[in-house]
Amino acid sequence: MGNASSPQQTWSQRFEAALHPAIARFNASIDFDIELIEFDITGSQAHARMLAKTGIISAAEGEQLVKGLEQVRQEYRAGQFNPGIDEEDVHFAVERRLTELVGDVGKKLHTARSRNDQVGTDTRLYLRHQIGQLRQQIREFQSVLLDQATQHIETLIPGYTHLQRAQPLSLAHHLLAYVEMTQRDWERLGDVYKRVDISPLGSGALAGTTFPIDRHYAAELLGFSRVYENSLDGVSDRDFAIEFACAASLIMVHLSRLAEEVILWASEEFRFVTLKDSCATGSSIMPQKKNPDVPELVRGKTGRVFGHLQALLVLMKGLPLAYNKDLQEDKEALFDTVKTVQGCLEAMTILMREGLEFRTERLNQAVNEDFSNATDVADYLAAKGVPFREAYNLVGKVVKTSLAAGKLLKDLTLDEWKQIHPAFEVDIYEAIAPRRVVAARNSFGGTGFDQVRQALERARSRLKQDA
Ligand code: ARG
């Protein structure tokens, strides 16, 4: 879009010389804050309506501004309005284009407002929208996990502590752990939302305004549930952005842990899953390879989200009240956080839905070839009155001799069992069968199949309720 005015004309008559071109570029945020344009327009429309309602401008002028802003929005959507570097930022760009369209009345839009409360409003509107998107994406991800879990209630998988075989699990139980983690993410985002949902509009540059504005009315138009109590806090608070980056970081922690597991599971060493061609890549030199790029990228991208959280914290720690230009630096961190988390959620949802197949035979077989039923032998004796610690020591010895003999617990004869302790009966074989070992852990929240079925039910109804 042609633009005759130069940026310096934005400033008052106090300025005589133009900005050095390199400094203009350095100062400008239009390259990235264009992301806010629709929210900027919406915020300005509410501001214009408020100005008209309070009689600060006439009703007709208010109408003109609202319509003109809508036209800027349509031009932008149609690709006809592409503000460039000479615009400094999105706020100036919109105001200038508006004035080109509606004439002098456009110059009234900025009455009783500053870019400081304006940018704060835009950022909150943006984040409210993105939090809504993210929560929906988490719901989709959870429902994919639930579908997989439903199919794999009776599929067994080795459970680990210290990445050493510990006790066998229902695969559904394992997957449901991620449903719980992401449930907290979903809730946390809802909690952060409460603090994003506060309007700073009308805080002015820092001290409020001499005009008889109605902050509550403008906030209501924008769907904010509260307004900032204090104008200085209103223009300089970025707690909500930090809280969001923290919630986003935790989402990434959870996605990255699952990513790491998928990477392990897909390795030749584990062979628990097969990656489908749609979600794996090959090597340019080693023809046999199928690489888990998707989970690796998710794991890798987690670092940059953590980095943004750190950047925001450090950005804020030394800022005197109120607005400082440093605050312009919050945007790229926020935008990239949103984009990265959304991209990772989408990719992991596809991966878990259709990108991998659990090798159920291999999984069921894996739990048959280890000592992960050793606790159950100790439990068996303990249930027959042998003090648990004593039973534990006895079984430790059995494991040692079995390992030396190249045997598994299920290979011991009844005589051998009885030599260890007379309390062993023939039902020991049943007691240490992996399926039974899993089923028996029927305590609330445990991996027993009945528990897992109930947990699945609870998770499903939670999904429905909140939808
Ligand atoms: N582009 C600026 C930012 O993102 C807008 C606010 C500028 N305010 C100011 N007093 N220079 O923070």
The rounded distance, in Å, linking the Cα atoms of 193 and 464 is 21
Domains in the chain with CATH codes: 19-111 (1.10.275.10), 116-159+171-215+225-366 (1.20.200.10), 374-452 (1.10.40.30)
| Cβ 116 under 6 angstroms from ligand 1 | yes
For the chain, give the mean pLDDT.
95
| Cβ 119 under 6 angstroms from ligand 1 | yes
Asked whether residue 367 carries a pLDDT value surpassing 80, the answer given is: yes
CA distances from 107 to 1, 7, 48, 91, 241 (A): 19, 15, 11, 13, 31
Taking the CA atoms of residue 344, residue 346, residue 352 and residue 355 in that order, the dihedral angle to the nearest 10 degrees is: -100
Q: What is the pLDDT of residue 84?
A: 86
Asked whether residue 1 carries a pLDDT value surpassing 80, the answer given is: no
Question: Which atom, in ligand 1's list, is nearest to the CA of 327?
Answer: 12
Q: Average the pLDDT over 347-364 and give the result.
A: 97
Active site residues: 162, 283
In this prediction the pTM is 0.95
pLDDT per position as a tens digit, 22-67: 999 999 999 999 999 999 999 999 999 999 999 999 999 999 999 9
pLDDT per position as a tens digit, 292-324: 999 999 999 999 999 999 999 999 999 999 999
- Partners of residue 275 on adjacent β-strands: 356
Token pair in block for residue 358: 């659990």
Q: What is the pLDDT of residue 249?
A: 99
Residue 29 Cα, ligand 1 centroid: separation in angstroms?
A: 9
Q: Average the pLDDT over 235-259 and give the result.
A: 98
pLDDT band at 9 (very low <50, low <70, confident <90, very high): low
- Partners of residue 358 on adjacent β-strands: 273
| Cβ 11 under 6 angstroms from ligand 1 | no
Q: What is the pLDDT of residue 4?
A: 39
CA 414 to chain centre: 54
| Cβ 236 under 6 angstroms from ligand 1 | no
Residue 230 Cα, ligand 1 centroid: separation in angstroms?
A: 19
Token pair in block for residue 450: 């009945």
pLDDT per position as a tens digit, 321-344: 999 999 999 999 999 999 999 999
Sign of torsion over alpha carbons 220, 222, 226, 229: negative
pLDDT band at 8 (very low <50, low <70, confident <90, very high): very low
Residue 114 Cα, ligand 1 centroid: separation in angstroms?
A: 9
DSSP string, 266-291: TSTTT--EEE-GGG-B--SS-TT--B
pLDDT per position as a tens digit, 194-207: 999 999 999 999 99
Angle between helices 37-53 and 90-102 (to 10 degrees): 60
- Partners of residue 168 on adjacent β-strands: 158
Question: Which atom, in ligand 1's list, is nearest to the CA of 205?
Answer: 10
Q: What is the pLDDT of residue 467?
A: 53
| Cβ 198 under 6 angstroms from ligand 1 | no
Q: What is the pLDDT of residue 288?
A: 83
Residue 116 Cα, ligand 1 centroid: separation in angstroms?
A: 6
pLDDT per position as a tens digit, 67-105: 999 999 999 999 999 998 789 999 999 999 999 999 999
